[in-house]
Amino acid sequence: MQTCAPLPHSARPTDFDFLKVIGKGNYGKVLLAKHKADGMFYAVKVLQKKSILQKKEQSHIMAERSVLLKNVRHPFLVGLRYSFQTPEKLYFVLDYVNGGELFFHLQRERRFLEPRARFYTAEVASAIGYLHSRNIIYRCASERGGVRPYVLMKDLKPENILLDCQGHVVLTDFGLCKEGVQPEETTSTFCGTPEYLAPEVLRKEPYDRAVDWWCLGAVLYEMLHGLPPFYSQDVSEMYENILHQPLQIPGGRTVAACDLLQGLLHKDKRQRLGSKTDFLEIKNHVFFSPINWDDLYHKRLTPPFNPNVAGPADLKHFDPEFTQEAVSKSIGCTPDTTASSLEASSAFLGFSYAPEDDTLLDC
């Protein structure tokens, strides 16, 4: 575990040595980078402004930045250390975690035993509860422009949940979060990965914070059973299952686990667990009775799985498809200013961020 001191009060690409590609997507790449001045490792997400503007996604990028700034103090949400821009690119300097995607480990083991699934679910629930306390809902969202595997949370599913070097959960994508949603308010944007869509989203009804608890239930179900609930290779059939088929829970699960899944995956959002007192309902469910939530938050509970990484340079949990790719020399330089790039810069006013204090943070 490295201790991350804040970077200087300004940053630019030439401040970093860009070492490896650890993720990529429609808008750019995520790279393992070492800061030249302090020797610390970071994940730097580099996005092409031109691609973002062509797809009219700048509002989502700015929302991502805004939410990241609010999440820096929560133990299970990735921290933004810096954001800056050149005329052609946007840079997010993020906490670097290299324990691998939860999906990677789940695929390898097919399913988790209840204690392990409970631990991960509790950490994710803690993070969601924190977001809700800041009037932010995740929303199950699509892979529009996502950067995998080191994504910024586009929806709550195992592919988008990372583990740090100790085995704790880190949620890393907030690009399509919805801010400013009061407890009784709703939103109505239709977006989602099919397997994890809540019924109210499919019906194109206004939805509220309860949509995140549905997603949590879907992730827990997949951890316990190896596939998402209501899954079908035929997307139309899967939608029909989500809307109308009763939840089928295979045998071998405890009564507490079955009750939690039934509560989280209730098709009526008004009856869903978490719809009334939000995170408090989740915390108080009997399934989580072995969890001391204060110890969980302060990472005093030993994770059920240790990724066994040797240090920041250990990339065994990243796909070689990414890590073997050559790092472009243009990533670490500042391009010449042109008329078109100046226009792109004006679309991202206020993007840059620098820390104001000298607090040391563990990462």
Please report, in range form, the residues annotated as the binding site for ATP.
45
The residue type found at 249 is I
The percent helix, strand, coil of the chain (3-state, each to 5) is 35, 15, 50
What lies within 8 Å, CB to CB, of 226 at 6+ separation is 106, 110, 111
In the annotated binding site, the residues are: 45
Nearest-CA neighbor of 241 among 202, 279, 207, 273? 202
Q: Whole-angstrom Cα distance, residue 240 to residue 234?
A: 10
Is 155 in the active site? yes
Distances (CA, A) of 362 to 16, 34, 40, 301, 307: 20, 16, 12, 16, 18
Q: Whole-angstrom Cα distance, residue 267 to residue 250?
A: 19
Q: Give, for 236, the enclosing helix (H) or strand (E).
A: helix 235-244
Catalytic residue among 15, 95, 155, 164: 155
Cite the DSSP H helix spans in 25-165. 49-54, 58-71, 102-109, 114-133
Nearest-CA neighbor of 114 among 4, 213, 261, 234? 261
Active-site residue set: 155
